[in-house]
Structure 1
Amino acid sequence: MTHHTIYCRLGSEANSLPLPIMAGTVLSDINFIDIAGELNFGLEMTLAQLDKMGLTPTEVAIDLVVLATALTAADTRISRAENSQDRWTREIDIFIPVSDTALWRTQQQRLGHMLRFLTGDHWRIFFRERPAAYRKLARQSEHLKTTSPTSVCLFSGGLDSFIGAVDLLCEGQSPLLVSHRWDTLTASRQNECIAELSTRFPGLVVGNHMTGRVGFDHETVTSSTTEDTLRGRSFLFFSLAALAASAIGEDITIHVPENGLISLNVPLDPSRLGALSTRTTHPFYMSRFNELLQGLGIKATLHNRYRHITKGQMVEQCKDMSFLRMHASKTMSCSGPAKYRFHPDQTMRKIQHCGHCVPCLIRRASLLRGFGQDEDETPYTLQGLRTRVLDSSKPEGEHIRAFQLALARLNAVPERAKRDIHVPGPLSDHSGELAAYERVYVDGLHEVGVLLAGVQAKALA
C-alpha cells in the first residue's frame, strides 16, 4: 500500500506546503496556474467559452471544478495495482485552495463519503484559502450575452446523450450542452453529433455548447503509472455542468441522460461488484451530488429523466425517430473503442465499437428493439454474434456469457430482482420508485436477452 497526497497550488504559494499527514506518503505538488498566469489543465479554455457566451460562473463553482480536476489527476494517474494492498482501494489526500474555506469545510465529510462510494477509494479532502493574487478567478464577462439556456444537458457523444439532447430540443427547450473530451476519437464523435444537431435545430444548438478538455501528462503524479478504471469521471463531468449552471444564474436542471439499466448497473455476477461495476450515475451518488450542490449554494439539480426506462425504450420513444435513425451510428457507446488497435490481425486494427463489451451489447440490443433487425448501421469489430462459438474466457465472449448467466439466474428466480437492484448501492432516497427500478432492471436484461438469443459463448480449450 502506498499512500498519496496531492497538493494543489495556485501560483508560487511559497512555504505553504503542509507537513504530510501520513508518514511515508508520496507527495505530488501540482500548480494549477500556468506560465501565463492562467488556470492550467484546460480550465482556462473552459472559462473562456463561458466568457464568450456572456456568462460568468461563481467562485464556488470554480472551486468545485478545480477540486474535480485534482480528483481526476489522482484517479487517472495513481495506479490501483501499484498503490493498493488489494489491487483496487487507494488512499489519497488532497489539499485544495478555495474561495471560502468555512463553506467548503461543511462539505468535507460528505465529499469523503460520496467519493468512497463512487470510486471505491479512501479520500480525505483538506481546504485552505486561495492566495491573495487569486482570490478571484471568475472573469466578469464583458461580452454580449449570446445565449439564454433553459437547462444544462450532459453531452458525451454517446447514444443516450444524443437522444437526451434531441428530446429537449424537440420540446422547444434551449439546453446548454456540456461535454468533456480528452482523446481525439471522443472529440470527433462529439463534434460530428453537434454538427448534425445544429443542422436539425438551427439557432438552438449553435453557441450552446461548452466543452471541457481536462487532462494530465504521465508525470503529474509522483512515482506512479496511469490508471484506466476512471471511476471518478462523472464527478468532473457533473462539476463542469454545475459550473455552466452557476453561470446561467438561476435555478437550473442539469439533465443526465442515462438509461436505467446502466444507471443502476447491477453487477452481472458477484465478481463484478468492485472493479467491474461503475456507479457514475447511480441514483444514490446523484442524490449525494445534489446535496453537495445545495450545501455549496449552487442553484442546480441533477436529473435523469430516463432512469426508469431501458436504452431500447429511449430509442423507441425518441421525439424525432427519423433523425435518430439517420445519425445514431455517429454516436459512440463502447467502453474501449481502441482495444483492437494493436491486434495481430491487421484487418481488426480499427478504432470503433468492439461490439462485445457491456455498453456495446446494451447499445446493440436497444437499436434492435428500436429500429428492428438489421437496421443498426454501427460498425462493430465483432459484427456477427452467431457466426461461431465465442470464447467466454476472452474479451469477445466474457460479457456475453455474463449476461446469459445473469438472465438464467433471473429467469430461474424472478423475485431475486427485488434484491438485486440494491446490490450496487442504496436506493433509500427513492423508496417510492423501487418498483420502477425493479422493472427497468428486468426489462433491460430481457432486452439484451433478445439480442443474445441463439448466441453461443463458452470457455474454449
Structure 2
Amino acid sequence: MSRDSSEEPSDVQRHLQEVMRVTKINDLLRLFISLFLFEICISNIRSRTATGREDYGYSYQFADGRMVHISDQLSLRNALLTHCDRLSNKFLPYLKESLNQRSIVSAVSHLSDGVVRVMLKNDVTVRKARVKTKSNYLNVIVGTKSKPSLRSQFSPSEDAIRIILDGDKRNVTFDFDCFESALGHTLHSLTKDWLEIAFAVYISDICVRRNPDLSRRLHILIPVRHLGTWSKVTTQLERTVSILARDNVRIHFVKKRGKCDPISLLESSPNENECVCLLSGGLDSAAGAAFILEKGLKPLFVSYSPGGILTTIQTGLLAGLAQEKDTTLRRLTVPWQARRTGAYGLVKQKDSLLYQHLRSFFYLSLATAAAVESRCSDVYICENGPTAINPLIAESHVNTRTVHPLFLDYYQTLVRSIFAIPITIRNPFLYKTKGQLSRYLVNRKLTSLIPLTNSCFYYYGIKPYAQQHFDIKDYAGKHDGDCLPCIIRRVSLHYANVPDGYDDYLTDVFNLFDSPVFRTLPDRSLQTLVRIADLLRFAQYLSNLHPHELITHFPDLFPYAQGIDYDKLTEMYRRYSKEILDCFRSKSSQELRHVFGAVLNPDVSHVSV
C-alpha cells in the first residue's frame, strides 16, 4: 500500500532511519545471526511440548500443562540471547568469508565449516552437560521402599510424601472390593494398575504444596504390575495429567509384585446399549442421567466419594431419578479415605487457587475402569459447555479443566493406548448452557430432581457457616449462594423459569446489600461483588464483540481439539451471555443495579477495552 510522499515520517520511522545511519554492516549481520539462532532455540523448545514440557516461547502460558513463572521464562530467554550473541560473534567471520566467495560451492563450504566448528561443537558440550546433571527427583513415593534403597536410581526429596496403598502401614483406604462386588468378578491386573495410578495422582494433587507462584513439581514413583505397558505410555500419561493441573509432572514406574493377567483377557466385543455414566450429584449430571435413559441406553452410574454429605446427595439424586423413571438403576460408588495423623499421615495442602484440579482425572479413571471391565465402549461425563471449557473470565480467576475438550482428547488417546480398546469419552452437552440443561429437566417434568442436586463449592461447610453467620441451626440447604457455581445455577434456573422458592441459598446475590454477611463479612462481600463484576463484564464482552475480537481477548474460548465446531461454540457463548445479562437485569435490586448500571442498563452496548 503506497504512502503519500508529502506525509511526514513517524517518530518510529525517524528513529529507525537514524539507527540505520550509524549501524555498521557487521553489527547488522551479527544481530541477524543472533536473532535467527534465538528463534531456532525457541522453536526447538516449543516443539518439546509434544512430550508435556513447558513452553518458554510465550510470555505466559497455560496451554500445555505446567504453569511457568514469568521470571523463570525471562531468565532462560535472556540466557539464550546471551548464548546466541556469543555464537553469532564466532560465526560471523565464516559468514563474511562465504559472502566473498565467487562460487556457490565455495560459499556453502565456508558456511558448513562454520556450522561444524561453532554450532555442532557447542551442541555436543551442551548435551554432555545435560546428561551429567540429569537427576530423577522424587517428591511422591508410592509404597514403603526406603529412601536409601532408592538413591541408586532416584533423588527422593527429604519431605517426599508417602502413599501406602496396602499392608499394615497403609495411610489410605482405596480397595477394589466395591468394583468387584458391583461387577461380579475380579478385576484384571492392568485395571488395578490403572486405578492405583489414578488414585496416587489424585492424592499427590491434594497433598503436595505449591510454590508461592503456584508452580509445582509432581514427580511420582509408582509400582505397577505391567511395567512394560506403562513404560510405553509414560509420556502420554504425564502430558494428560499436566494439562489439568499445570504441573511439571514426571512419573517413574517400578515393578510391583503380583499376578499379571494376560492382556488378551480384556479383548471382547462391546456390550450393545450399555454405557458408563459419571454421576457427581450436580445439576448437569442429573440432566445427563435423564438424557442417557431417554436414549434407551443401559447405564452403570459411577460416583466417587470420601463420605459425608456428598454421598447423601448422590444417593438421593439417583433414588429420585429412579422413582421418576419407575425403574431400577445400577450404581457403583467408590469410597476412599486418607489418614491424616500418625506415621505417614497425609496432610492436605493449604488453600490454593489451584486445588484439586486433578480430581476429574481420578473421577474419569473410575468410570474408565468400570467400562473396561464391563466391556462398554462409551463413557459419559456430562458438563455444560461454558463450564467444560471454563475460559478465564478475568485475571483474578484460575480456571479448572475438568471436562475440557483438549483434556478429554488426550485422555481418550491415553486410554486406548493402554487397554487397546476403542473406548470413547463423550460429553453430549458441550454446546449447551446450564440454562438449557435446566430447561431440559423442566420440559421433561423432572423439576423435582433439581432440589436434589448440588452446585456449591462449599457444600461440605454449609451447616456451620449458616449457624455462625446467619444464626440458622440445622440448615437443610446445600448452597451458600455467593460462590460462582451458585451464581451460575441461579442464572440457569431463571432461564428455565424455575420459581425462586424452589431452591435454597444462604446469600441472595441479587440483593447482596441486604444480606447479613454484607456487614459482618465485608471481605467476603467484596469478593462476591468482584465476582459479579467479572461475570457481567465477561458476559458483555461475549454479547458485543465479534468472534475475531473474542479470540484476541479470550484465546481459551475456542480450544483446539478434535471435532470442535467453532460456529456452535460461538452460538453457545452468545446464549450464555444473554442468560447472564437477562437474569441480572431482571432480578437485581435497585442498589445492585446502581453499582452495575453500566452493564445492567439494557441500552448500553458499548464495551470499553
Distance 2:303 2:157 in 1: 38
1:401 to 520, 530, 533: 533
Distance 2:229 2:525 in 1: 51
With over 3 angstroms needed to count, the CA separation of the structure-2 counterparts of 1:386 and 1:379, relative to structure 1, is same
TM superposition shift of 1:271: 3.0
Distance 2:567 2:553 in 1: 12
Distance 1:224 1:31 in 2: 14
3-state SS of paired residue (2:202) = helix
TM superposition shift of 1:421: 5.9
TM superposition shift of 1:44: 2.9
TM superposition shift of 1:396: 3.3
The answer to whether structure 1 residue 193 and structure 2 residue 317 are counterparts is: yes
Q: Which runs of 5+ in 2 are unaligned?
A: 1-68, 70-136, 266-270, 597-609
Q: Which residue pairs with 1:173 in the alignment?
A: 297
Q: Which residue pairs with 2:378 in the alignment?
A: 253
Distance 1:269 1:384 in 2: 19
Q: Which residue pairs with 1:444 in the alignment?
A: 576
3-state SS of paired residue (1:317) = helix
Q: Which residue pairs with 2:560 in the alignment?
A: 427
Mapped contact 2:284–2:434 kept (Cα < 8 A): yes
With over 3 angstroms needed to count, the CA separation of the structure-2 counterparts of 1:425 and 1:16, relative to structure 1, is farther
The answer to whether structure 1 residue 283 and structure 2 residue 408 are counterparts is: no
Moved more, 339-348 or 219-228: 219-228
Please list the CA deviations of residues 36-64 of structure 1 after superposition, one character each: whole Å capped at 9, or x if unmatched: 99x952323433433xx424443222211
TM superposition shift of 1:327: 2.0
Please list the CA deviations of residues 220-262 of structure 1 after superposition, one character each: whole Å capped at 9, or x if unmatched: 8679643551100000001000110011124x11011100010
Please list the CA deviations of residues 188-207 of structure 1 after superposition, one character each: whole Å capped at 9, or x if unmatched: 100111111222334440xx
TM superposition shift of 1:363: 1.3
Q: Which residue pairs with 2:542 in the alignment?
A: 410
The answer to whether structure 1 residue 68 and structure 2 residue 191 are counterparts is: no
Mapped contact 1:169–1:204 kept (Cα < 8 A): no
TM superposition shift of 1:105: 1.5
Residue 545 of structure 2 aligns with an amino acid whose one-letter code is: V
The structure with the larger Rg is 2
With over 3 angstroms needed to count, the CA separation of the structure-2 counterparts of 1:73 and 1:425, relative to structure 1, is farther
The answer to whether structure 1 residue 212 and structure 2 residue 342 are counterparts is: no
Residue 177 of structure 1 aligns with an amino acid whose one-letter code is: F
With over 3 angstroms needed to count, the CA separation of the structure-2 counterparts of 1:258 and 1:297, relative to structure 1, is same
Distance 2:558 2:500 in 1: 36
Q: Which residue pairs with 2:250 in the alignment?
A: 124
With over 3 angstroms needed to count, the CA separation of the structure-2 counterparts of 1:360 and 1:55, relative to structure 1, is farther
Mapped contact 2:206–2:349 kept (Cα < 8 A): yes
Distance 1:213 1:424 in 2: 35
The answer to whether structure 1 residue 336 and structure 2 residue 476 are counterparts is: no
| Structure ranking higher in helix proportion | 2
With over 3 angstroms needed to count, the CA separation of the structure-2 counterparts of 1:320 and 1:114, relative to structure 1, is same
Mapped contact 2:385–2:429 kept (Cα < 8 A): yes
The answer to whether structure 1 residue 302 and structure 2 residue 435 are counterparts is: no
Mapped contact 1:284–1:425 kept (Cα < 8 A): no
TM superposition shift of 1:331: 0.3
With over 3 angstroms needed to count, the CA separation of the structure-2 counterparts of 1:24 and 1:5, relative to structure 1, is closer
3-state SS of paired residue (2:428) = coil
Equivalences for residues 23-62 of structure 1 within 5 A = 24-35=157-168, 41-50=173-182, 53-62=183-192
Equivalences for residues 447-458 of structure 1 within 5 A = 447-453=579-585, 454=588, 456=592
1:378 to 488, 499, 503: 503
Q: Which residue pairs with 1:103 in the alignment?
A: 229
The answer to whether structure 1 residue 242 and structure 2 residue 368 are counterparts is: yes
RMSD in angstroms over aligned alpha carbons?
A: 3.3
Distance 1:24 1:234 in 2: 27
3-state SS of paired residue (2:173) = coil
Q: Which residue pairs with 2:439 in the alignment?
A: 316
3-state SS of paired residue (1:423) = helix
With over 3 angstroms needed to count, the CA separation of the structure-2 counterparts of 1:43 and 1:424, relative to structure 1, is farther
TM superposition shift of 1:295: 0.7
With over 3 angstroms needed to count, the CA separation of the structure-2 counterparts of 1:441 and 1:424, relative to structure 1, is closer
The answer to whether structure 1 residue 79 and structure 2 residue 203 are counterparts is: no
TM superposition shift of 1:101: 1.4
With over 3 angstroms needed to count, the CA separation of the structure-2 counterparts of 1:90 and 1:66, relative to structure 1, is same
Q: Which runs of 5+ in 1 are unaligned?
A: 141-146
With over 3 angstroms needed to count, the CA separation of the structure-2 counterparts of 1:16 and 1:249, relative to structure 1, is farther
With over 3 angstroms needed to count, the CA separation of the structure-2 counterparts of 1:23 and 1:104, relative to structure 1, is closer
Residue 415 of structure 2 aligns with an amino acid whose one-letter code is: L
TM superposition shift of 1:442: 2.6
Q: How many residues align?
A: 432
Higher relative contact order (CA 8 A, sep 6+): 1
Distance 1:18 1:92 in 2: 17
